[in-house]
Structure 1
Amino acid sequence: MLIGFAGLGRMGLPMATHLARAGHTVLAYDPAVERVPAELTLAGAPGELAAAPLTISMLPDGPSTRALVAGDLWAVAPGHVHIVMGTVGPDVIAELSHEQHLAVIDAPVSGSVSMAETASITTMVGATRDQFETVRPLLAAMTAAQFHTGPAGSGSAAKLAVNAVLAGLSQAVAEGILLAEAGGLDSAAFYDILRHSAAGAPYVGYKEQAYLAPDSTAVAAPVSLIRKDLGLALGLAHRHRLTLPGSEAAFEVLEDAMATGLAHADMAQVLTVLRQRNAARRHETPSTTQQTGARR
């Protein structure tokens, strides 16, 4: 099958390559990419992807996804299906679903770059049941698990909910390390305990080096990305009059991380931000501390 694929970043490139290795002809486009693996065919412009009966986008945000679907793909043939695999939020999916020239499915993914490289990521699919069954074999070439979440937009809602948990867990691990160190524990020894405790979620296991040896560990999910996703999650929550204090606290720390130059660092480096916050607090005078506490 001819598939158009837009977005050849750290996640998108291995995903497109898996499709090609599964036997599909992949016409790929990314304005920042000039060369691709031999399995892929590089398009010169995004509009060239419209020649395929099905297209996929793995783009970083809503505006770029909207520009592709509502603009560049205007010349698609009737019956064209577009799968949004980037995290853009359910509002963008709802907007794009009103486009008359194609059908939109959302299938954002959960997992790291290394998991994309081994096709072990998970996808949450917002589509009709028939659409889901039709595209599932394609998604299975790129992902290890495919969940049908309901109509278009529900996959994006599921992804935001997952990343809200992930952001909270990331901060909780960082706070646990700080608390253990304050009690005299070696951080590596504590992390070993944490991995084998009731709190030892898979995330805790595979993020160990990101927390304990960040300078020598490759970035899996940057602060900027999780901050963007958590912002979308909080936007959804606020529109539904939900108060999410844990997510709001995690977002504030991610904002601090962005402001201190950690946008491209791994999300585990919320630990660095919390260390900085606590170091500053220790240097406050007693009167300043009392004033800060009163404001809080």
Structure 2
Amino acid sequence: MLIGFAGLGRMGRPMATHLARAGHTVLAHDPGLDRVPDGLTAVAAAELAVADLSISMLPDGASTRELVVRGLADADRDHLHVVMGTVGPAVVRDLATTGPVAIVDAPVSGSVSMAEAAALTAMVGGTDEQFARIRPVLAAMTSAQFHTGPAGSGSAAKLAVNAVLATLSQGIAEGLLIAEAGGLDLPVFYEVLRASAAGAPYVGYKEEAFLAPDSAGVAAPISLIRKDLGLALDLAGDRFALPGAEAAYAVLNDATAAGLGDEDMAQVLAALRLRTTTKQEALS
């Protein structure tokens, strides 16, 4: 299949590469890159419209809207665009209603290493027919694909998942601080945590990020998690309260203000340590 792919960042690059390895012809667009990976063909945004199917893995709603409204304006009527970046359900539903092409959203859950291993989970919002059409394509990049409902529902599912991850990250960080205050060796405590009732899979694969952040690399930066959590809070609006998400968002704001926005989300631990230092200084 001829597939257009926009957005070759940390996640998009391996995802597009998997499509090419699966035998698809991939037209790739990313204005921030001088060249694209081997196996992909670099094109301008408007050239994505010649494909049967296009995918965007862009960081926000504004860039996604620009691509769809302007880049795909001349696409055929049967062209289908898959929004895989986390942009929020409102943007997806608006594009599905007013955009020049049919829209499906399929944001993914997982880290860069999972993208490289094609082990992501996709949450797909669209019709039954659209889901059937794109599922084989998604299977080249992901290990699980869930049909969550109509357009926009995939994005709502992604925000819900990331709200859990953000609060879970903060919970791990707070647990580490409590253990440290009690005189525990942190690697020993982490073994206890991983084997306890709180030992979700996320706890296990984030061990290095929490205990040895300098060597762990960045799986999901604080800036993106903060953006996603902000979208979740916007979705909640005045309709219902999200006290855990609000608390996690405040810590992510602190982390961003401290210059940690490009660091892995496990660095909420560093942000909480800074809070402690500031509190102690205020009391002294």
- TM-score (normalised: structure 1): 0.94
Is the CA contact (8 Å cut-off) linking 2:69 and 2:99 kept in structure 1?
no
Aligned twin of 1:260: 258
Which residue identity does 1:211 align to in structure 2? Answer: F
Instruction: Extract structure 1 runs of 4+ deviating beyond 4 A.
Output: none
Tell me whether 85-94 or 27-36 shows the greater mean CA deviation: 27-36
Aligned twin of 2:14: 14
Unaligned stretches of 5+ residues in structure 2: none
In 2: Cα distance, 1:89 partner to 1:110 partner: 14
SS at match of 1:68: helix
SS at match of 1:119: coil
> Mapping of 1:242-281 within 5 angstroms?
242-281=240-279
> Mapping of 1:26-65 within 5 angstroms?
26-43=26-43, 45-65=44-64
Structure with greater Cα Rg: 1
Offset, 1:85: 0.2
Aligned twin of 1:191: 190
Aligned twin of 1:182: 181
Tell me whether 275-284 or 143-152 shows the greater mean CA deviation: 275-284
SS at match of 1:275: helix
> Mapping of 1:204-215 within 5 angstroms?
204-215=203-214
SS at match of 1:280: helix
Which residue identity does 2:219 align to in structure 1? Answer: A
* 1:159 is the counterpart of 2:161: no
Tell me whether 80-89 or 69-78 shows the greater mean CA deviation: 69-78
* 1:220 is the counterpart of 2:219: yes
Aligned twin of 1:68: 67
Offset, 1:100: 5.2
Aligned twin of 2:281: 283
In 2: Cα distance, 1:127 partner to 1:285 partner: 55
Which residue identity does 2:26 align to in structure 1? Answer: V
1:247-289 CA-partner distances (Å, limit 9, x unpaired): 0000000000000100101100000011111122223338xxx
Offset, 1:134: 1.1
Aligned length: 284
In 2: Cα distance, 1:2 partner to 1:238 partner: 40
Aligned twin of 2:237: 238
Unaligned stretches of 5+ residues in structure 1: 287-296
In 1: Cα distance, 2:49 partner to 2:89 partner: 24
- TM-score (normalised: structure 2): 0.98
Is the CA contact (8 Å cut-off) linking 2:4 and 2:27 kept in structure 1?
yes
In 1: Cα distance, 2:155 partner to 2:166 partner: 16
Aligned twin of 2:201: 202
In 1: Cα distance, 2:277 partner to 2:261 partner: 21
Is the CA contact (8 Å cut-off) linking 1:108 and 1:155 kept in structure 2?
yes
Is the CA contact (8 Å cut-off) linking 1:80 and 1:101 kept in structure 2?
no
SS at match of 1:283: helix
Aligned twin of 2:107: 108
Tell me whether 263-272 or 276-285 shows the greater mean CA deviation: 276-285
In 2: Cα distance, 1:204 partner to 1:50 partner: 42
